[in-house]
Amino acid sequence: MRHPALDSLLILQDRDSKRLGLEAQLKAVPGDVAAVEKKIATEKAAIDAARTEVKELETKKKLIETEIGLAEQKLAKYKTQQSLVRKNDEFQALGHEIETTEQAIGVLEEQELGLMYNIDEAKKRFAEAEGVLKQNIAGHEARIRSHKERETSLTAELAEAKAALAAAREPVGEPALRVYDRIAARQQPVLVALRGNKCSGCHLKVSSEVESDARKGEKLATCDQCGRMVWFDY
Ligand SMILES: [Zn+2]
């Protein structure tokens, strides 16, 4: 014999598990949206990093150009001075200065060339990063939209599921409902079938007393291992 509350309890459990499923799906939505937003942020950060790199390299290049300009002024001054001196040792000293300055200018010009190469590379990276975002942004935005649409439809479904759940609680009698709620607060599913003499919730053997209670269906039997309600599956 089946316990009189069993059928309504099974319906209640079915509605309850539907509600729980929807709640779990709904709970996952913000994380799904955040994951897409994180991808967008990562792609934007790559653009920013490349832009900053270009700027920094260009600043360095300007500094070197200034240094080259100053060194060239110095060189011109030495050359003018050299053309005016009469004494040999002064001429030679200035010649030495000229040589040193020319060498320094050579080093700076090499550095400038290196920087120009690096600027080109950084500009390529910038364009590449911009391309990646440009290519992906429509997809990212579509994904966020679809997550949000899913959220809206899940919210509507959940409202319906909650109404169905409330309706399913009504035919269940008060004591059975109390037992159900107490178990539901701890674990799902609340009601499980006894197969052989095993609880299909925890897969352990129930005592012969529980088995006989479930079989008779006179009272609501609970598994003596996991505490779920067990019903005898004929
Ligand atoms: Zn059990």
pLDDT digits (tens, 9 = 90+) for 209-218: 999 999 998 8
Distance of CA 164 from the midpoint of ligand 1 (Å): 27
Whole-number Å distance, alpha carbon 102 to ligand 1 midpoint, is 91
Rounded to the nearest angstrom, the distance between the alpha carbon of 209 and the centre of ligand 1 is 14
> Phi/psi at 202 (nearest 5 deg)?
-110, -5
pTM score of the predicted model: 0.74
- Pairing, β 191-195 against β 229-232: parallel
- Per residue in 104-116, pLDDT (tens digit) is 999 999 999 999 9
CA of 229 to the centre of ligand 1 (A): 8
Nearest partner of 102 among 72, 81, 61, 65, judged by Cα: 72
Cα 209 to Cα 69, 201, 212: the distances in Å are: 101, 18, 5
Distance 192 CA to ligand 1 centre (A): 8
Higher pLDDT, 234 or 49: 49
* Distance from residue 10's CA to the centre of ligand 1 (Å): 17
Question: What count of residues does the chain have?
Answer: 234
Q: In this predicted structure, what is the pLDDT of residue 89?
A: 95
Q: How far is the CA of 190 from the centre of ligand 1 (A)?
A: 10
Region 100-105 average pLDDT: 98
Listed residue (144, 146, 166) closest to 154, CA to CA: 146
CA of 161 to the centre of ligand 1 (A): 27
Cα 78 to ligand 1 centre (Å): 99
Query: Residue 234 above 70 pLDDT?
Result: no
pLDDT bucket at 102, cuts 50 / 70 / 90: very high
Mean pLDDT of 135-148: 97
